[in-house]
Amino acid sequence: MTPSSSIAAPGAVVPGHEATDDHGHHPSYLTDGTTVKSWLLTVDHKRIGIMYMVWVLLFFLVGGIFAMLLRIELLTPGPTIMDAMTYNRVFTLHGIVMIFLFMIPAIPSIFGNFLLPLMLGAKDVAFPRLNLLSLYVYLAGAGFALWGMLNGGLDTGWTFYTPYSAHTTTTVAPVLFGAFIIGFSSILTGMNFIVTTHTMRAPGITWFKMPLMVWALYATSCIQVLATPVIGLLLLLVTAENLFSLGMFDVARGGDPVLFQHLFWFYSHPAVYIMVLPAFGVMSEIVATFSRKNIFGYRAVAYSSVGIAFVGFFAWGHHMFVSGQSTFNAGVFGVLSMLVGVFTAIKVFNWVGTVYKGAVEFSTPFAYFCGFLFFTVFGGMTGIAVATVSLDVPWHDTYFVVAHFHFIMVGATIMAFLAALHYWFPKMFGKMYHEGWGLVSAALIILGFNATFIPQFLLGNAGMPRRYYEYPERFQALNVASTAGASLLAFGFIIIAVYLTYALIYGERVDNPWNSKGYEWLTASPPPTHNFIGPQPTYPEEPHFYVDPNTGKGEVSDV
């Protein structure tokens, strides 16, 4: 048996695969019940994942439109298309929509919901009804927040810093309360994933035979469960402060706004890892699949996910270097922040080690992996720089910081989101998109992203503060470059929307186009309602097992 032939027959011994031959008897989850009610009241994790996808993508569109409005406004040094107050509202809404409505639920709630049970050989998540509840709680929170935005919006920035958020006349309370409700959704998802991982693993899947995506989701869920309640409380306090002036953070009555920042970043710094850890998980899956190699250093990658989740809690003070926090604390937080870099570097080196001498198949998901790798390293390195107190003091609240966190949030998370979308699109719908257009849009997006944010690094370094409506003449060239890059980025997204919609309807029927050996591919694409048909599948191999293209090793356990 040559290596390639063993790859070509991935599911030979797997029950459930026969389902594809046997269509009439076992409808896929997509066709099993087509009424609106069968979707809205479903407890099937796959359908919930798809419904999340619809909403999350909608909010991504909203946040993206806000982003484009910002970039258009910043084309000229003076007013361009809106007044200053509108600008304040737009950047606040961009932040809130992108973070609370898009980035946090994006990968865990869509791909996590869809894939976690498949990857664990389970029929569903542990609490299917709570899972559905989390979707509706999310929508209720989003409704509250959007209602507040339509009724005037708010101008505090997504960070809601007191004392301003307690005194501004804009509509703070409903948006804060909406974010508070969304927190419940996040907690429910996290709880569900942790319990599922603990109790629903199929026979044969031990902790160290779980796919790395599961490890990443597990670590993410831990953060969601431990950190979200703190911001929940804080949002309630600020809502009360805004409505009734309770004075918890009011300097005039002895309160300390910096305490607000402590509580805020206790959640919001780990929240960065809620956004980026699932991205790391996605990339661990993709790098093994498209290099046709078992992941290099499985345990190191798995442990580093948990490590990042843990260390992420020791870093929050690096957002507060110029807030009046003690210099001692600033130093401690600065040093501890750098530990995150250590764990991230472990992952990066292991991914590179996986690609090294692999039989790389350069498809769209892998193209996003390449972009992701660059953005993560570059964003991570600038992160180490801004975690250094002396460097952060001049860079704080400039476009340097804006560019840095967009490199991580957009560069890493959205690249991973798109990679996951392309990699698991055939799994979700059993259809294949046009690979050529996929690569074209990936190239556009990676290029557009660099063109958008590298100028912002330069702007920040030159001293342009963030959240400013106007800027001096000399910053215009770089701002125009950034806006041009953003247009390219938007164009790339439009192409994706078009060809994926096309593929959804006219796409070629496929089952496992990547010949991936991930556990989730062991069942049919799209999977049947209860994920597997017949007896529960067995998992004799490691989750990222491929026959080594160089040595041919691994054929024995292939049998």
Partner 1 sequence: MSSAHVTPGTVPGPKLAAHFASLEVQKHAARLGMWLFLATEILLFAGLFACYASYRFLFPEAWAASSRSLDLTMGTINTVVLITSSFTAAMAVHYAKEGKNKMVGHMFVLTLLMAIGFLVIKFFEYKHKFHIGTLPGRYYFYEGIQLPGAPLYFTVYFASTALHALHVVIGMTVLAFSTVRAYRVGDFNANNYTAVELGSMYWHLVDLVWIFLFPMLYLV
Partner 2 sequence: MAIANESHQEEHNMQEHHGAGRYVVIWVVLLVLTLVTVFTGRMHLPDFGLLLALVIASVKGTLVALYFMHLSEHRGANRLVFGVSIVFVVLLIGFTLMDFGTRFRLANPPGSQYSDLQAVDIGANPAEGRTGGHQQQIKQQHETHE
| Interface with partner 1 (CB under 8 A) | 117, 122-124, 126-128, 130, 187, 190-192, 194-195, 198-200, 203, 225-230, 232-234, 236-237, 240, 245-248, 250, 253-256, 259, 262-263, 530
- Binders of partner 2 among residues 330 to 349 (CB under 8 A) are 332-333
What amino acid is encoded at 398 in this protein?
T
**Which residues on neighbouring strands pair with residue 528, listed in sequence order?**
28
Report the candidate in 358, 288, 324 with the shortest Cα–Cα distance to residue 518. Answer: 288
C-beta closer to partner 2: residue 57 or 246: 246
C-beta closer to partner 1: residue 228 or 382: 228
Q: Cβ of residue 518: shortest distance to partner 1, in angstroms? A: 21
Q: Cβ of residue 226: shortest distance to partner 1, in angstroms? A: 6
C-beta closer to partner 2: residue 230 or 346: 230
Number of Cβ atoms within 10 Å of the Cβ of 390: 8
Q: Is 246 exposed, middle or buried (0-12, 13-18, 19+ CB in 10 A)?
A: middle
Check residue 540 for interaction with partner 2 (CB under 8 A): no
C-beta closer to partner 2: residue 11 or 317: 317
Q: Cβ of residue 242: shortest distance to partner 1, in angstroms? A: 12
Alpha carbon distance, N-terminus to C-terminus of the chain = 11
- Dihedral sign from CA coordinates of 213, 218, 221, 223: negative
237 alpha carbon, distance to own chain's centre? 28
Q: How many residues bind partner 2 (CB under 8 A)?
A: 33
- Binders of partner 2 among residues 313 to 332 (CB under 8 A) are 313-314, 316-317, 324-329, 332
Q: Cβ of residue 192: shortest distance to partner 1, in angstroms? A: 8
Q: What's the rounded Cα separation, in Å, for the pair 188 and 199? A: 16
Q: Cβ of residue 488: shortest distance to partner 2, in angstroms? A: 42
* Residue of the chain from 2, 151, 199, 501 that contacts partner 2 (CB under 8 A): 199
Q: Cβ of residue 534: shortest distance to partner 1, in angstroms? A: 15
* Residue of the chain from 266, 273, 290, 298 that contacts partner 2 (CB under 8 A): 266
C-beta closer to partner 1: residue 228 or 376: 228
Number of Cβ atoms within 10 Å of the Cβ of 285: 28
Check residue 38 for interaction with partner 2 (CB under 8 A): no
Q: Cβ of residue 146: shortest distance to partner 1, in angstroms? A: 25
Residue 199: DSSP 8-state: H
Backbone phi and psi for residue 151, each to the nearest 5 degrees, phi listed first: -90, 50
Q: What's the rounded Cα separation, in Å, for the pair 241 and 236? A: 8
Do 403 and 395 meet the contact criterion of CB atoms below 8 Å apart?
no
What are 142's two structure tokens? 């989003």
Residue 234 site contact among partner 2, partner 1, none (CB < 5 to 8 Å, cut-off depends on kind): partner 1
C-beta closer to partner 1: residue 130 or 440: 130
**Which residues on neighbouring strands pair with residue 28, listed in sequence order?**
528
- Binders of partner 2 among residues 226 to 265 (CB under 8 A) are 226, 230, 247, 251-256, 258-259, 262-263
Residue 123 site contact among partner 1, partner 2, none (CB < 5 to 8 Å, cut-off depends on kind): partner 1
Report the candidate in 83, 186, 162 with the shortest Cα–Cα distance to residue 469. Answer: 83
Given the rule CB under 8 A, which of 77-85, 310-318, 469-477, 506-514 is the region that contacts partner 2?
Answer: 310-318
Do 223 and 273 meet the contact criterion of CB atoms below 8 Å apart?
yes
Check residue 269 for interaction with partner 2 (CB under 8 A): no
Report the candidate in 259, 218, 217, 260 with the shortest Cα–Cα distance to residue 238. Answer: 260
What angle separates helix 364-386 from helix 415-429, to the nearest 10 degrees? 150
Task: From residue 227, give the alpha-carbon distance in Å to each of 109, 231, 266.
Answer: 17, 7, 7
Binding residues for partner 2 (CB under 8 A): 198-199, 201, 203, 206-207, 222, 226, 230, 247, 251-256, 258-259, 262-263, 266, 313-314, 316-317, 324-329, 332-333
